[in-house]
Amino acid sequence: MALDVGMLGYRFMGRAHANALARLPMFVPDAPAVDRAVVVGRDEAALAEAAPELGFDRWSTDWRDAVEAVDVFYNLGPNFLHAEPSIAALEADTAVLCEKPLAHTLEAAEAMADAAASASVPAWCAFNYRFVPAIRYAHRLLSNGELGEIREVRARYLQDWLVDPTEPWSWRLDEELAGTGVLGDLGSHLIDLVRFLVGDAGGAGPIERASGQLRTFVEERPVEGGDERRPVTVDDACTAQLAFEGGAMGTLEASRTSPGHKNDLSLSIHGTEGSLRFSLERLNELELKRADDRGYETILVTDEDDPYLEHWWPPGHVLGWEHTFVHENAAFLAAVETGEPADPSFADGRAVQRAIAAIVESDERGEWVTLERGD
């Protein structure tokens, strides 16, 4: 029997996830079957056009119409809309996949994680970069201890869509709606990846302390379609230092105002027995240096026995950004069907939110901040 899917949001993330759902029957035939039942948004005319394009049977302007009527609820709305619909869905025993960051405030993220802990269905936070084959390959290397004791991690995520001061204002630039700017938007991916790779697989443990700096370079922007201008109340760029419980150190950098960088996420991890490097712009490759090597070896992660590749093409026929959503959706829906624990979970999303909150507090206070701990 197919799982009925309800989806809040139909633009960028809605299209990414709807595309993934459409590909599953062809490329992951053992994934649970789904019916795209209802898509939810505010604009009736846009919804009426988007629903058939994304393969949904119907549309609604009220998320309350969806959460109890479906088996699976995708919350792809703006950050401030993550908490209430997701919690309502969990209370109705409807599984939830919520886009990152988990919420616009730490308080909301805590409430969501608490609701997930009490629920009988999976609640996932959608960190899709965990599902890049090369990232999973790196996770396996680190879990096997092949880089030795991890000492350093450097992570950056740079974009340039806000370089132009005439770029229109959007909800992503408002603290009440988004919570933070690039720190939550792009930095949340970095925090999750260093937790996943260094803290988990690398054995460095939780992030213990953080120090951060946030900057807003363009203080106001025009509203599209008129003469109005609105203030920008979130960060355009941020940097942070992290201290892990096990002694490893990390640096993060995120920006939406870096000319020439369209979607530039990169990682480097250094241990006592070697190093690895990854770039999203070359997402099929992982660079690895072992202790006895003179330099880095480039590994093309496209073989059939590499993570997720049994579903796709012959070796060397590379994958792209959209495939991360196929892998993510297949894993999420399998967990819904089998009752397996969520991974990444709302608890993971909350841990990232705690790091975000600590970085913001550090910027305000001008000193290191210890992260809140506990379940």
Integer Cα distance of 262 and 355 in angstroms: 25
Neighbours of 226 (CB within 10 A): 8
DSSP 345: B
Q: Are 94 and 72 in contact (CB under 8 A)?
A: yes
Tell me, yes or no, whether 17 lies in a domain: yes
Integer Cα distance of 186 and 101 in angstroms: 9
Task: Tell me if the bond preceding 133 is cis, omega within 30° of 0.
Answer: no
pLDDT tens digit string along 332-353? 999 999 999 999 999 999 999 9
Going from the C-alpha of 238 to that of each of 3, 156, 297, the distances in angstroms are: 40, 10, 31
Tell me, yes or no, whether 350 lies in a domain: no
Gyration radius from the chain CA atoms? 20
- Chain-centre distance for alpha carbon 267: 15
Which token pair is 99? Answer: 């886009």
Confidence label for 65 from pLDDT (cuts 50, 70 and 90): confident
Q: Which domain holds residue 90?
A: 3-129
Integer Cα distance of 127 and 184 in angstroms: 12
Confidence label for 373 from pLDDT (cuts 50, 70 and 90): confident
85 and 154 together in one domain: no
219 and 305 together in one domain: yes
- The CATH number of the domain holding residue 9 is 3.40.50.720
Confidence label for 63 from pLDDT (cuts 50, 70 and 90): very high
Helix, strand, or coil (residue 246): coil
pLDDT tens digit string along 98-133? 999 999 999 999 999 999 999 999 999 999 999 999
Residue 16 has pLDDT above 90, yes or no: yes
Q: Are 6 and 67 in contact (CB under 8 A)?
A: yes
Q: Are 66 and 40 in contact (CB under 8 A)?
A: yes
Tell me, yes or no, whether 77 lies in a domain: yes
Integer Cα distance of 82 and 100 in angstroms: 9
Question: Considering the chain, what percentage of its residues have pLDDT values greater than 90?
Answer: 97
Integer Cα distance of 308 and 325 in angstroms: 12
172 and 306 together in one domain: yes
180 and 310 together in one domain: yes
Confidence label for 299 from pLDDT (cuts 50, 70 and 90): very high
Number of domains in the chain: 2
Tell me, yes or no, whether 272 lies in a domain: yes
Question: Considering the chain, what percentage of its residues have pLDDT values greater than 70?
Answer: 99
pLDDT tens digit string along 176-203? 999 999 999 999 999 999 999 999 999 9
208 and 253 together in one domain: yes
Buried b (16+ CB within 10 A) or exposed e, 316-329: eebbeeebbbbbbb
For residue 369, what is the enclosing H or E element? strand 369-370
Tell me, yes or no, whether 276 lies in a domain: yes
80 and 158 together in one domain: no
Torsion 99-309-335-279 (CA) sign: negative
Q: Could you say which of 76, 100, 129 is where a domain stops? A: 129
One DSSP character per residue, 47-80 reads HHHHHHHHT-SEEES-THHHHTT-SEEEE-S-GG
- Give the pLDDT confidence score for residue 19 in this predicted structure: 98
109 and 145 together in one domain: no
Integer Cα distance of 97 and 70 in angstroms: 13
Which token pair is 56? Answer: 């949904």
pTM for this model (two decimals): 0.97
Residue 375 has pLDDT above 70, yes or no: no
Integer Cα distance of 282 and 261 in angstroms: 14
68 and 96 together in one domain: yes
232 and 258 together in one domain: yes
115 and 165 together in one domain: no
- Give the pLDDT confidence score for residue 226 in this predicted structure: 85
- The CATH number of the domain holding residue 147 is 3.30.360.10
Integer Cα distance of 13 and 96 in angstroms: 15
Q: What are phi and psi of 334, to 5 degrees?
A: -65, -40
- Give the pLDDT confidence score for residue 283 in this predicted structure: 97
Integer Cα distance of 228 and 199 in angstroms: 46
**Residue that is written with structure tokens 């460095």 in the block:** 204
- Give the pLDDT confidence score for residue 1 in this predicted structure: 84
Q: Are 62 and 40 in contact (CB under 8 A)?
A: yes
Tell me, yes or no, whether 69 lies in a domain: yes
Q: Could you say which of 129, 156, 175 is where a domain stops? A: 129
pLDDT tens digit string along 31-43? 999 999 999 999 9
119 and 137 together in one domain: no
Residue 374 has pLDDT above 80, yes or no: no
For residue 99, what is the enclosing H or E element? strand 95-99
288 and 170 together in one domain: yes
pLDDT tens digit string along 73-93? 999 999 999 999 999 999 999
Tell me, yes or no, whether 113 lies in a domain: yes
- Give the pLDDT confidence score for residue 364 in this predicted structure: 98
Tell me, yes or no, whether 164 lies in a domain: yes
**Short-list 373, 367, 332, 369, CA closest to 351:** 373
Q: Could you say which of 110, 129, 148 is where a domain stops? A: 129
